[in-house]
Amino acid sequence: MTESNIRSVGVIGAGQMGNGIAHVCALAGYTVYLNDVTPDRIKAGLATINGNMARQVAKNVITEEDRKNALARIRPAETLEELSDCDLVIETAVEKEEVKRKIFAELCATLKPDAIIGTNTSSISITRLAASTDRPERFIGIHFMNPVPVMELVEVIRGIATSDATFETAKAFVGTLGKTIAVSEDFPAFIVNRILLPMINEAIYTLYEGVGNVEAIDTAMRLGAHHPMGPLELADFIGLDTCLSVMQVLHEGLADSKYRPCPLLVKYVEAGWLGRKTQRGFYDYRGEKPVPTR
C-alpha cells in the first residue's frame, strides 16, 4: 500500500497525544475515526481539538473553513470494529504494554488485512508489540512529539519484521502531515528521548549534588546553551513520572548504570509532585508565577 491509498486513519486513545494526532490528520485531509474507552473521553478529545483549531484560526495558521472541514472529518468511534475499514490505525493509548497488547488483539480481529498498524509508544519495543499482532510486517512505530500540532518532528521506527512497503508508506504519510522524519532503530527510548531524558536526569543530579539551585540550572541552560526552556522547567512540562519511567526503560533496557534515575527525581515522584499537571514539581505553579521548590 502506498500513501496514495491511505484515506482513513483510526486513532486509538483520545488523550493528549491522540487528540493531537487526530487534529493533524484531519487537517491534512484524512478521514479520522477517534476511539477511546468511553464516549465522554472521545467527546473531551474532540473539544480539545476544537479549541486548539480555534486558536490556530485566531493566529492565522489555518482558516475558519479549514477548521470546519477538518472537524467534520473526525468521527467518534466507540468500538474498535468501527475502525475495521481504516487504511492505517495509530494506537496511542496509555503507555502500558498489557493495555496495548489487548487493544491489538481486539483490533486485529476486525481490521482489514492490508491495513497498517502504527504505535505512538515512547518506549516499548516495536518488535515486541509487532509480534503480538497478526501482521508484524505491517506494523511500525510512528512517534509524534508533544504538542503534536506544533512540533515538527516524527520519529519512524521499524520493528525487525516491518516490510519496506510499510516503512515507505509510513514515511510518505508523515510527510503529508507536514512533519519532518527522523528514522530511529528500535532501541529503548529511540533518538529524542534517549538524548533528552539523560540530559534532564543530569540536570536533576546537578541540583541533587548542590552544584546549582533550580533557578541557576535553568538560567544556565537557557542563556548558556540557548535552550528555549531550562531542563527542570522542561521536566515539569513533560511530567516527572514520565521522565522517571523513560529513565527506567533506558536503565533496564540498556543495562548501563549511566542511565540510573536520580534519587531526587524518584523522591519528587513519590511525593506526587509530578510537575505542571499536579501544580508542583521543580517549580510550584499554585501562585501567579512559578516559584522554584529548591
Ligand X SMILES: NC(=O)c1ccc[n+]([C@@H]2O[C@H](COP(=O)([O-])OP(=O)(O)OC[C@H]3O[C@@H](n4cnc5c(N)ncnc54)[C@H](O)[C@@H]3O)[C@@H](O)[C@H]2O)c1
- State the nearest-atom distance from the C-beta of 208 to ligand X, in Å: 24
Active site (annotated) includes residue 143: yes
Grid look-up 521543580 returns 282
Name the residue nearer to ligand X (CB basis): 2 or 38: 38
Instruction: From the candidates 8, 35, 184, 193, give the one annotated as an active-site residue.
Output: 193
Active site (annotated) includes residue 146: no
- State the nearest-atom distance from the C-beta of 33 to ligand X, in Å: 12
What CA–CA distance (Å, rounded) separates 13 from 38?
A: 10
- State the nearest-atom distance from the C-beta of 246 to ligand X, in Å: 9
Active site (annotated) includes residue 122: yes
Q: Using an 8 Å Cβ cutoff, are 56 and 33 in contact?
A: no
Name the residue nearer to ligand X (CB basis): 33 or 144: 144
Instruction: From the candidates 19, 122, 123, 184, give the one annotated as an active-site residue.
Output: 122
Closest residue to ligand X, Cβ-based? 15
∠ Cα 190 191 195 (to 5°): 115
Name the residue nearer to ligand X (CB basis): 31 or 146: 146
* Helices (H), ranges, the chain: 16-27, 39-58, 64-72, 97-108, 126-131, 164-176, 192-208, 214-224, 231-238, 240-254, 263-271
Instruction: From the candidates 19, 143, 184, 233, give the one annotated as an active-site residue.
Output: 143
Active site (annotated) includes residue 193: yes
What CA–CA distance (Å, rounded) separates 88 from 230?
A: 37
Residues making contact with ligand X (CB under 6 A): 12-18, 35-37, 41, 92-95, 99, 103, 120-122, 143-144, 146
User: What is the layout of strands, in order, in the sheet containing 8-12?
Assistant: 74-77, 31-35, 8-12, 88-91, 116-119, 139-144, 153-158, 180-184
- State the nearest-atom distance from the C-beta of 62 to ligand X, in Å: 22
Which residues are designated catalytic? Answer: 122, 143, 155, 193
